[in-house]
Amino acid sequence: MATLIQSVAFAALAFMASLAVAGGESYTVTATLLHNGKAFGEPTAIVKGDTPATVEVSGTDGYKLSLTVSDLASDQIRVSAKVDSSHGAMEPVLVVRPAKPATVTVGDLALTVTVVRGGS
């Protein structure tokens, strides 16, 4: 009976691992949008690797932030971003280190992103 339980447990783990590989890696992305040094948006999203994701907020300080995150190496993650806001727009591409914030500034508009592998 113990052998059967171990076999079932192993099969379940193998199945879950195959789903994780098939589904691609996920990332938790935390962003801060700033205008003249003042934050006007601080979204966090869990995104699937190489799959575009968008966060959109309406209102006076409304914005649309589109992201595509891709693994480059164990210590490098590529983030392609597009920001459209009431304060301006930018389309930066950043290479970031996992769990380390990186900032890009265009005029009065800035974007800081932190990317962590995995999402829950």
Instruction: Look at the block and give the residue holding tokens 């966060």.
Output: 55
What integer pLDDT is reported at residue 2 of this predicted model?
41
**pLDDT one-digit tens code per residue, 14-36:** 333 333 434 579 999 999 999 99
Strands (E), 6-108: 26-35, 38-41, 44-48, 53-57, 63-73, 76-85, 88-90, 93-96, 102-106
Q: Residue 119: what pLDDT?
A: 73
Q: How confident is the model at residue 87 (pLDDT cuts 50, 70, 90)?
A: very high
pLDDT by residue (tens digit) across 34-76?
999 999 999 999 999 999 999 999 999 999 999 999 999 999 9
- pLDDT confidence of residue 111: 98
